[in-house]
Structure 1
Amino acid sequence: MTQPSSLPSLTPQFCFSTVILRDFLRISRSSIDDTITQNLNALATPAKTGFDPTSTSRLQSRPSTRSIDPNDCHAFREQVLFPSWQTRSDIISYCSLVATSPDPSDPEAALRDAENEKNRERVIDERLDPYSARYFPREPRTEQLASILRQEMGVENIIRARTWDIIKERCGDPTATSWEEALAQWRRTHSSS
């Protein structure tokens, strides 16, 4: 199992610390994706030509969005958005490898084995107790991690689609129709360099 080069301190313990993992992903999303409108507004240039004194003498409807320089949009995507997405993808991929690898240091393995042994010795008589056949074994932490990662990837897909829709609306990117294509194109250009 190799860890991503951009994340030197990533360890299996990081992945199994699901609170830390989720907090990292949440904070990363909140700093870029959840504030995408504010980030794009910061790129907008309110007045390139300067102030026109005659503009105050007539009533004008205000445009709903300010124009953003295409070069600024491109730089934002290339230097901020895609690296953030790639970091989160790297973490999810690494933790997915951890979740599918054997876990010899699972602290609950002995407890699960004892519960399974106790379950094999149980007497099941559904006539006397219709619930006696029920048994809910503890999930190994790798399965718990895999479930969390599936949820987080679903959240990533929804947030990235929403962010990309806003970027397309504000920046008008004719080269890529979906965020998946745009990110794949960015990965190709940055993997060769």
Structure 2
Amino acid sequence: MAENERTFTAPQSLLDSNLTFLNDEPTPTTITLTRERCVDPSLINSFLRILRHGSDDVIRQKLNNYRKPSSISEKKCDAFLKQELYPNWQIRSSIISFCDQEATQMKAETDRKFSNTGSSATGTITDARIDPYAAREKLEDQEARYRDWTRVKEWVANNEKIEQILTSTTDRILRQNCEQNKNYLEQFAQFCKDNT
């Protein structure tokens, strides 16, 4: 089975800002996702961190760069949303979705493998009277097979929660600084539909 891969590059606005973090290795600006990266997400976490910092963490400063006291401030907010914020959110959402899909495939593959372990095709089943440790070994094998899947699912759930908090907070700040009657989360959903 061919391995799934997907490559993402940080938005140009982030690359131009020359983000660095103290006491840290250089931040990645491009990442290729694989199942292994989802199982050990340290590089993905670094990439998501620069994306989150480059938009949501500095949202007020970013808006100040776009929004000037003039009649075209609304257009400047729209420019920020379409050129910086929404593309950033979309990349983050796509990264989390990739790992979620990989977790779903891992579960299905592991279910198939494990459901076949008890069949006579894979060998004889040891009677518990002959080998009293066989049941425990079988349980340990099952746990080992599902460990990576569990790890990825927990990572996905944690990052979905982080995204929900960040986007909700940013939505509130946008309503305070741009157009208060707009639903920026709904606009983002439409942006994703238009840019897939």
Which bracket does the TM-score occupy, shorter chain normalised?
0.5 to 0.7
Identity of aligned residues (%): 28
1:17 Cα shift? Answer: 2.2
1:104 Cα shift? Answer: 11
**Greater strand percent: which structure?**
2
Q: Report 1:99-114 matches (<5 A).
A: 99-102=103-106
User: Which of 80, 94, 97 is the equivalent residue of 2:98?
Assistant: 94
CA distance in 1 between partners of 2:74 and 2:149 (Å): 44
**Greater helix percent: which structure?**
2
Q: Structure 1 residues 24, 5: closer, same or farther in 2, change over 3 A?
A: closer
Residue in 1 that maps onto 2:159:
152
Residue in 2 that maps onto 1:177:
183
Are the aligned partners of 2:103 and 2:152 in contact in 1 as well (CA < 8 Å)?
A: yes
Q: Structure 1 residues 102, 164: closer, same or farther in 2, change over 3 A?
A: same
What's the C-alpha RMSD, in Å, of the aligned pairs?
3.4
Consecutive unaligned residues of structure 2, counting only runs of 5 or more, are 10-30, 111-116, 118-131, 138-142
Deviation per CA, 1:119-165: give whole Å up to 9, x if none.
8359xxxxxxxxxxxxxx55511111110110110010000000111
Q: Structure 1 residues 30, 118: closer, same or farther in 2, change over 3 A?
A: farther
Residue in 2 that maps onto 1:140:
147
CA distance in 2 between partners of 1:177 and 1:188 (Å): 16
Letter in 2 for 1:37: R
Q: Would you say 1:34 and 2:34 are equivalent positions?
A: no
Which entry has the higher C-alpha Rg, 1 or 2? 1
Q: Structure 1 residues 13, 121: closer, same or farther in 2, change over 3 A?
A: closer
Deviation per CA, 1:5-48: give whole Å up to 9, x if none.
867832222212221122221221011101001111112336x6
Q: How many residues align?
A: 148
Deviation per CA, 1:57-89: give whole Å up to 9, x if none.
xxxxxxxxxx87111100110111010000011
Q: Report 1:1-193 matches (<5 A).
A: 9-45=32-68, 69-102=73-106, 118=133, 120=135, 137=143, 140-172=147-179, 174=181, 176-179=182-185, 181-191=186-196
CA distance in 2 between partners of 1:68 and 1:33 (Å): 23
Consecutive unaligned residues of structure 1, counting only runs of 5 or more, are 49-66, 107-112, 123-136
TM-score (norm 2): 0.63
CA distance in 2 between partners of 1:121 and 1:159 (Å): 44
CA distance in 1 between partners of 2:191 and 2:80 (Å): 12
Displaced runs of 4 or more, over 4 A: 1-8, 103-106
Letter in 1 for 2:189: A
1:171 Cα shift? Answer: 0.5
Letter in 1 for 2:55: I
Shifted more, 96-105 versus 157-166: the winner is 96-105
CA distance in 2 between partners of 1:166 and 1:121 (Å): 54
Q: Structure 1 residues 186, 163: closer, same or farther in 2, change over 3 A?
A: same
Shifted more, 151-160 versus 95-104: the winner is 95-104
CA distance in 1 between partners of 2:150 and 2:191 (Å): 32
